[in-house]
Amino acid sequence: MNAREQLRLLILAVLERQPEHGYAIAQAIKARSEGLLDAKEGTLYPALHALEAEGHIESRETEVAGRVRREYCLTEKGKKALTEARGDWERQVRAVGAVIGGKA
């Protein structure tokens, strides 16, 4: 799984809990990873647009404190993609663990 695919997995996982706007997604990724992962604006928004174009997420404009924000939510197709991506990630982690974990 490359960095682009990892970011997509992280976005879908954040949106699994509740709809969020872009900045909140980035903050959730950073907070949940205890600061180890950082979704930069230059990669986050293109990933959001791609996920929306593929039908994995939907967006709508909402007004918060007088400001219009685009809020993203997970679709049924996105839930299925998240399940598949989690499986891919778990297989990758097991494979790396088998190589570096010292198990014969």
pLDDT at 63: 87
Question: pLDDT band at 102, cuts 50/70/90?
Answer: low
Query: Rounded to 5 degrees, what are φ and ψ at 57?
Result: -135, 160
3-100 CATH fold: Arc Repressor Mutant, subunit A (1.10.10)
pTM over 0.75: yes
pLDDT at 104 over 60: no
> Using one digit for the tens of pLDDT, what is the confidence trace for 40-92?
989 999 999 999 999 999 999 988 889 999 999 999 999 999 999 999 999 99
pLDDT at 56: 98
Relative to beta strand 57-64, strand 20-21 is unpaired
